[in-house]
């Protein structure tokens, strides 16, 4: 937890770094990132949108198209692509 890469990432560290490449600053917390940007419906997701999971907003990932996200799952696991349906969807935001 708390990883901001490149040797280790946590979920919000990964999204923070990805959006920094687009010159958008994000806070290092899924809950704080959930309060930023524009709320986006699931049907209007675009690549790079922040997608949030689990009640209490405990996880964030980057939308990667076709119902998939890229995310840092948990300590000891590599960043990976998975189907969004594998985690309980709580909402999405578009920073910037």
Cβ-Cβ contacts under 8 Å for 94 (sequence gap 6 or more): 37, 38, 40, 46, 49, 50
The active-site residue, picked from 11, 28, 66, 74, is 11
Measured in whole angstroms, the distance separating CA 25 from the mean position of its chain's CA atoms is: 14
Secondary-structure percent of the chain, ordered helix, strand, coil, rounded to 5: 20, 30, 50
Please give the Cα distance from 62 to 81 (Å, whole number). 9
Catalytic one of 28, 59, 66, 74:
59
66 is catalytic: no
59 is catalytic: yes
Provide the annotated active-site residues. Answer: 11, 59, 71
């Amino acid at each position: 937890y708390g990883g901001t890469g490149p040797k280790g990432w946590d979920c919000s560290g990964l999204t923070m770094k990805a959006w920094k490449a687009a010159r958008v600053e994000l806070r290092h917390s899924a809950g704080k990132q959930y309060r930023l940007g524009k709320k986006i419906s699931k049907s209007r997701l675009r690549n790079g949108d922040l997608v949030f999971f689990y009640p209490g907003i405990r996880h964030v990932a980057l939308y990667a198209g076709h119902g998939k996200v890229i995310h840092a799952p948990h300590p000891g696991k590599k960043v990976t692509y998975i189907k969004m349906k594998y985690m309980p969807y709580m909402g999405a935001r578009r920073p910037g």
